[in-house]
Structure 1
Amino acid sequence: MNDYFDQRARNWDGSPTRLAQTSDIFAALERQVALQPDWTALDYGSGSGLLTLALARRVAHVWAVDLSVGMMEVLMEKARAEGIANITTLVADFTREPLPDERFDLVTSALALHHIDDPPALLRGFRSLLQPGGMLAVADLDTEDGSFHGDNHHVRHFGFDRDELAARLTGAGFDGIKITTAAHRERGERTYTIFLATARAV
């Protein structure tokens, strides 16, 4: 999967639809989470940094975590071009490697969960990364029939059922769970919905 995203990193931001989608997700995040200027956040599956950079403009520091070195290079090039210096990058897979010792006020992840073999394990990892009372914000596809990506070799889940996700979040140690529609993505004659799930670490 690393090679897949490395090969696409330079052109990732060339899609106006993807840019609009991330803008919609961030707007939904701002509606559901009261971002604070002294927060430290972690963005998992940060990719080229579309969400990371938006967060970096609003909080004190952001860790960007991704498997793709190519995506990280693009992210930091954009950060330098914009004079943004409050981002730490980490190439890691939190489902297979030790988690950082740091604790965060906010953990975000946008359209990464469907690439993960064991989402409940990752959600538990997110909980362990958060301060008590810290916030989680996860955006992903609602359940779909597998037609969203076309090429599904790197896809592990065809979206998620909201009720099942809420139960998984509760089991991982979260409460105050809220799941709303954050964005719509049109492809051909199909419209796919993207949710934003927010929750508080118990």
Structure 2
Amino acid sequence: MERTDYNRTLALAAIFQAASIVKDLAWRGHCDEHEFEILIGSLFAFDVEAPQDIFRGEANLRTGLERIEVQLKSGGKPPDMEITRYAIGLIFLERKLQARPDMLEALGDGLKAAERQVEYFNMTHESVIARLADVYQESISKLGPRIIVQGEQTHLSNPNVAARIRATLLAGIRAAVLWRQAGGSRWKLLLGRNRLIHEARDLLHRLNN
């Protein structure tokens, strides 16, 4: 993958979009179904490299692009610390994952098994989401430290909502892989913040015209 601001921005947008969906599910028990389906679909884009293709177009990451502008432009404390905490947690866990080839292999096997289910159900069917949630628990959750999700206990204790949250976090890890492959790093996030904001604004302007 080319290490460009464009690719880094789309990958970061996907991370923020995953974080936003996790928050919506945890506090409201539901989320934007199209955005959810786009993120879940990215888990099965095995033979696609460019973020634009993995997420089926820039427009499908609009929420994430808006989040980049809002969360990074403050220069100080982000306006929504919960979403930022999830995003940073996903980037951190992906880095730890890269040091565990055994877990990477298990993760790949789990996704292949879930892909076989997609042949019989649609991508966001409860059975597929439950399998993806299991993959997350059997791999990413064991890396530590876990991402602690806040929300309404009614929703967090609902097995279907909990599974959707874990599946979304798994998609967030996928986006964090793309972020790293595009040259993203902690320093790029800190020192290259203005370039990411500029790229996100340009993309949003293009989408709105």
With normalisation by structure 1, the TM-score equals: 0.26
More strand per residue? 1
More helix per residue? 2
